[in-house]
């Protein structure tokens, strides 16, 4: 009998049911789309933010402070500490190794650009680094990394140097200010090794393959393969700084706490989360004797934007659910008023409020299942459109959201029906049957 009453209600009052279902479809579609985008937003935006450059800087613990004037490092070549190039493969063995997208070593060498071996030349800094380089990993694999990954915003007019050749690129500012200028295709002589040391000066001739714009001190430097800078500085297999590009999640209360104050459970959760602090800690363990610093300009920007976008998506989701609940409440109230006579007859025959409310709730739950399922399908299509427009790639459907959307639809339908059902529970059958 209960099922018959519910079924006949759908047959006799289809218009109200269609309106309720439509409200649920729209609400669940928006909720599905925003939840899908929100779940993808962290990873997608984190990858997009890698275009800002590396977000971690690794230096030796005992290194000296740089002495830079006009972009030129005036420290003697032998001053300060160095790191071992052979250890870099260990970065791809840490717990969050898949979040290490790339790393690039840097070796700054004070030098002169001389027109000949006897010329005084112009003082500058030679920066040894990689553009594209294969790094052997202890597990037998190889990892390709370099400036192409960690510094994608650096633009070169011409082409980048080959890592194994006597080539280099010159900074845009240096190319303009050098007497006579420097252009791709020219050969320049680099002198280093004799100032402040007992060794004879070294001269290396390199072919300039391009002019690079970095937006920082690199515009006043000459960038060459790391092996060439190691030869100039007489530090084979060593470097001074390492820039790391890592995928991280926004900082929260746990990520900024002192590691020593964490309980074992909190420590496990912190270690197993890709916070910039936990990845820095793991890098420090992989490369003993280093200090790992977050590049705050990049890290803070990522965390702030990710948090704001996530908050915006959750606000849109909540607004869609509230709107759906209000629409359900309006149609439910109208349905209850239209069926006052039916409610009065059932109460006069002895039906308790639980039975009367159960009939209305059963109708709403059936509508919630149908509307939630349809809204999920529409939401997947909407998520693809949003993903394509915002991130350039369509959003991936997540079937794990389907039961969640059905539960949300049921909750919205029930919450929207509570006030009309309370009103129906207060109906007096005698007054209704008298037509009052």
Higher pLDDT, 412 or 251: 412
Is 177 found in the same domain as 34?
no
Q: Are residues 125 and 19 in the same domain?
A: no
- In 3D space, the residue among 27, 36, 34, 19 whose CA is nearest the CA of residue 409 turns out to be 27
138 and 181, same domain (yes or no): yes
**Do 308 and 391 fall within a single domain?**
yes
Region 387-399: mean pLDDT is 70
SS3 label, residue 140: coil
Summarised one tens digit per residue, pLDDT across range 128-150 is 999 999 999 998 899 999 999 88
Chain segment 320-333, per-residue pLDDT in tens: 888 888 887 777 77
pLDDT at 17 over 60: yes
Cα separation, 227 vs 364, in Å, equals 72
Around 119, how many Cα atoms within 13 Å sit in the side-chain half-sphere? 15
pLDDT over threshold 70, residue 112: yes
- Per-residue pLDDT, averaged over 187-195, amounts to 73
Q: DSSP secondary structure string, 34-101?
A: HHHHHHHHHHHHHHHHGGG---EEEEETTPPPP-EETTEE-S-TTSS--EEGGGGGGGGGSTTGGGEE
Q: Are 80 and 238 in contact (CB under 8 A)?
A: no
pLDDT exceeds cutoff 70 at 127: yes
* Same domain assignment for residues 28 and 63: no
Number of structural domains found in the chain: 2
Residue 347: pLDDT over 70: no
Rounded Cα distance between 171 and 70, Å, is 13
- The structure tokens listed for 229 are 């800078």
Which domain covers residue 269, as residue numbers? 55-294
Q: Do 368 and 231 sit in the same domain of this protein?
A: no
Closest CA to 204 of 245, 165, 150: 165
Specify burial of residue 296 (Cβ count, 10 A radius: 0-12, 13-18, 19+). exposed
pLDDT at 218 over 60: yes
Same domain? For 251 and 314 the reply is no
Q: Which DSSP category does 115 fall into?
A: S
Question: Per mean pLDDT, which range of 59-73, 104-118, 214-228, 314-328 is the poorest?
Answer: 59-73
* Residue written as token pair 């890290």: 299
Co-location of 224 and 314 in the same domain: no
For 250-269, the DSSP string reads PP-TTTTS-GGG--HHHHHH
In-domain check, residue 268? yes
Please identify, among 294, 329, 352, the residue that sits at the C-terminal boundary of a domain.
294
Name the strand (E) or helix (H) holding 374.
helix 353-391
Q: Which of 313, 303, 287 is nearest to 138 (CA)?
A: 287
Candidates 207, 205, 208, 123; CA nearest to 172 is 208
Tell whether 366 and 324 lie within a shared domain. yes
Rounded CA-CA distance 106/67 in Å is: 16
Residue 50 falls inside a structural domain? no
Statement to judge: residues 313 and 286 lie in one domain: no
Which pLDDT value is given to residue 387?
74
Q: Which of 88, 86, 63 is nearest to 286 (CA)?
A: 88
Residue finishing a domain among 241, 274, 294: 294
Does 166 lie in the same domain as 23? no
Task: In whole angstroms, give the CA distance from residue 27 to residue 321.
Answer: 6
Q: For residue 202, is it within any domain?
A: yes
- pTM value is 0.65
Assign 144 to helix, strand or coil. strand
Same domain? For 187 and 61 the reply is yes
The DSSP H or E segment spanning 420 is: helix 401-425
- Domain end: 294, 322, 344, which one? 294
Least confident of 96-110, 172-186, 329-343, 418-432: 418-432
In a domain, 159, yes or no: yes
User: Which uninterrupted H or E stretch holds 431?
Assistant: helix 429-433
Confidence grade of residue 119 (pLDDT, cut at 50, 70, 90): very low
């Amino acid at each position: 009998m209960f099922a018959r009453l519910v079924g006949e209600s759908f047959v006799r009052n289809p218009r109200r049911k269609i309106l309720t279902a439509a409200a649920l479809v729209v609400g669940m579609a928006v909720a599905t789309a925003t939840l899908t985008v929100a779940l993808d937003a962290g990873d997608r935006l984190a990858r997009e933010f890698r275009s800002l450059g590396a977000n971690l800087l690794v230096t030796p613990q005992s290194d000296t402070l740089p002495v830079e004037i006009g972009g030129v490092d005036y420290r003697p070549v032998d001053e300060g500490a160095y790191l071992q190039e052979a250890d870099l493969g260990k970065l791809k063995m840490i717990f969050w190794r898949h979040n290490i997208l790339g790393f690039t070593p840097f070796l700054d060498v004070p030098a002169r650009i001389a027109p000949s071996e006897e010329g005084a030349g112009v003082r500058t800094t030679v920066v040894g680094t990689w553009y594209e380089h294969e790094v052997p990993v202890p597990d037998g694999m190889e990892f390709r990394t370099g400036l192409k990954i960690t510094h994608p915003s650096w633009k070169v007019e011409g082409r980048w140097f080959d890592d194994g050749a006597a080539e280099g690129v010159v900074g845009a500012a240096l190319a303009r200010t050098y007497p006579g200028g420097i252009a791709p295709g020219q050969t320049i002589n680099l002198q280093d090794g004799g100032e402040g040391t007992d060794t004879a000066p070294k001269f290396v001739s390199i072919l300039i393959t391009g002019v690079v714009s970095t937006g920082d001190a690199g515009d006043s430097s000459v960038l060459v393969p790391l092996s060439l800078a190691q030869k100039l500085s007489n530090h084979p297999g060593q470097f001074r700084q390492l820039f790391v590009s890592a995928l991280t999640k926004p900082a929260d209360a746990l990520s900024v706490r002192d590691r020593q104050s964490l309980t074992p459970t909190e420590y496990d959760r912190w270690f197993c989360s890709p916070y910039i602090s936990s990845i820095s800690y793991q890098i420090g363990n992989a490369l003993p004797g280093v200090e790992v610093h977050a590049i705050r300009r990049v890290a803070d920007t990522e965390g702030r934007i990710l948090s704001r976008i996530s908050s915006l998506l959750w606000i849109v989701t909540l607004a869609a659910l509230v709107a759906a609940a209000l629409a359900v409440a309006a149609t439910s109230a109208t349905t209850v008023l239209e069926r006052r006579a039916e409610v009065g007859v059932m109460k006069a025959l002895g039906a308790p409020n639980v039975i009367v409310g159960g009939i209305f709730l059963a109708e709403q739950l059936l509508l919630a299942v149908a509307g939630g399922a349809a809204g999920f399908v529409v939401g997947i299509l909407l998520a693809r459109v949003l993903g394509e427009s915002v991130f350039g790639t369509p959003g991936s459907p997540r079937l794990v959201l389907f039961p969640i959307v059905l539960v949300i639809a049921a909750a919205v339908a029930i919450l929207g029906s509570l006030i009309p059902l309370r009103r129906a529970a207060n109906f007096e059958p005698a007054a209704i049957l008298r037509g009052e």
